[in-house]
Amino acid sequence: MKISILGNNSALPAHDRYPTCQIVNIEETYIMVDCGEAAQVLLKKHGISWHKIRHIFISHLHGDHYFGLPGLLNSMSLLGRTEALNLYAPAPLMPLMQQILNVADTVLSYPLQFIPLPDGIATIADNSLFSLSCFPVEHRIFCQGLLITEKAKSRKLLPERCSYYEIPAAYYKQLKAGQDYTGKDGFVVQNEWVTEMGKPEKRYAYCADTLYTESFLPQIMNVDLLYHESTYLENDAERASSRYHSTAKQAARLAQKANAQQLILGHYSSKYKSTLEFEQEARSIFASSFASKEGDIFEI
Ligand SMILES: [Zn+2]
Ligand SMILES: [Zn+2]
């Protein structure tokens, strides 16, 4: 799983940083996570193919998380997209989008499947490659976090070993599932002699926008990578909580409690020119903290 950071700022574009937008790549299926105003420009700038975006998740309806969407949906249509696009977002977004399309007499060239985000913890997508689950975070308006789980792969066959033990191809499926093979003479070929471990499950949790809370800790425990918004530095902690946002230190504290492997910070207030101090403050609590920059790719 690769997570590309496109927009990493809060509401106002500033210091060459733009509102929130990320692309999660799982075996060349792309999931867009929030769609801030500059999404199209940043996709183009970083050479990310729009055609591979099959899913778009919108956490909440503050403009810095979806104002890029009408333009992106429209451009996909202009480019003649035919593949279906799944849009997971708070329910009021769909009539809004429909109205924007209606007034321009636009009919999209592809099916747009709208999946309203439920209130609470829920699985919103599940296929052989990954699952998407949402969970409530605490913001001024209805806002959902997202957990992306790339599923574990079955065991990998070692073809030379399989033919050495004369295992029929019809039995390969069971081998991949971890079973041993017993030949006609009763000789047992142990699974680990002819296969190797497949890729383990990977989990990425996205928590924006939210104030510091441990209410969703069970949903993000032991994740490989945690994104947690950090709009402010610690000396603005009061402002952070009054506006339902977090500080870098709070994000780090949660990453530590969640036993996450790594933490990405973002959604910086435009009052900060540099993001260096965000990383420093977070690292004083949780060493594997990174202040995300546009164009960063985190691989897990
Ligand atoms: Zn925001
Ligand atoms: Zn917000």
Q: Is the pLDDT of residue 268 over 90?
A: yes
> Which ligand lies nearest to the CA atom of residue 230 in the structure?
1
Q: Provide the residues around ligand 2 (an ion) whose CB is within 5 A.
A: 62, 209
Q: Is the pLDDT of residue 12 over 90?
A: no
pLDDT per position as a tens digit, 228-254: 999 999 999 999 999 999 999 999 999
pLDDT-above-70 percentage for the chain: 100
pLDDT at 184: 85
Q: Is the pLDDT of residue 290 over 90?
A: yes
Residue 157 Cα to ligand 2 midpoint, Å, equals: 47
pLDDT at 151: 96
pLDDT at 202: 98
pLDDT per position as a tens digit, 117-170: 999 999 999 999 999 999 999 999 999 999 999 999 999 999 999 999 999 999
> Which ligand lies nearest to the CA atom of residue 243 in the structure?
2
According to CATH, the topology of domain 2-153+199-299 is Metallo-beta-lactamase; Chain A (3.60.15)
- List where CATH 3.60.15.10 sits in the chain: 2-153+199-299
Residue 180 designated active-site: no
Nearest Cα residue to 17 out of 32, 33, 36? 36
Question: Strands (DSSP E) along the chain, which ranges?
Answer: 2-7, 21-26, 29-35, 53-57, 85-89, 112-116, 122-126, 130-136, 144-150, 156-157, 181-182, 188-189, 195-196, 202-207, 225-229, 262-266, 289-291, 297-299
Give the separation between CA 122 and CA 148, rounded to whole angstroms. 12
pLDDT per position as a tens digit, 173-222: 999 999 999 988 899 999 999 999 998 999 999 999 999 999 999 999 99
Q: Is the pLDDT of residue 89 over 90?
A: yes
> Which ligand lies nearest to the CA atom of residue 34 in the structure?
1
Q: Is the pLDDT of residue 11 over 90?
A: no
Residue 35 Cα to ligand 1 midpoint, Å, equals: 11
Q: Which residue among 16, 34, 64, 296 is the active-site one?
A: 64
Q: Provide the residues around ligand 1 (an ion) whose CB is within 5 A.
A: 62, 64, 209
Residue 138 Cα to ligand 2 midpoint, Å, equals: 10
> Which ligand lies nearest to the CA atom of residue 139 in the structure?
2
DSSP characters for 217-262?
HHHHTT-SEEEEE--B-GGGHHHHHHTT--BHHHHHHHHHHTT-SE
Residue 74 Cα to ligand 2 midpoint, Å, equals: 24
pLDDT at 81: 96
Residue 32 Cα to ligand 1 midpoint, Å, equals: 16
> Which ligand lies nearest to the CA atom of residue 141 in the structure?
2
Report which DSSP code applies to 288.
S
Give the separation between CA 69 and CA 39, rounded to whole angstroms. 8
Q: Is the pLDDT of residue 13 over 90?
A: no
Residue 62 Cα to ligand 2 midpoint, Å, equals: 5
Nearest Cα residue to 275 out of 16, 100, 56, 1? 16
User: Which residues, 6 or more positions from 215, have their beta carbon under 8 angstroms from its beta carbon?
Assistant: 136, 138
Tokens 């609590």 locate to 285
Q: Is the pLDDT of residue 34 over 90?
A: yes
Residue 64 Cα to ligand 1 midpoint, Å, equals: 5
Give the pLDDT mean for 274-289: 97
Residue 209 Cα to ligand 2 midpoint, Å, equals: 5
User: Which residues, 6 or more positions from 55, have their beta carbon under 8 angstroms from its beta carbon?
Assistant: 29, 30, 31, 32, 85, 86, 88, 125, 132
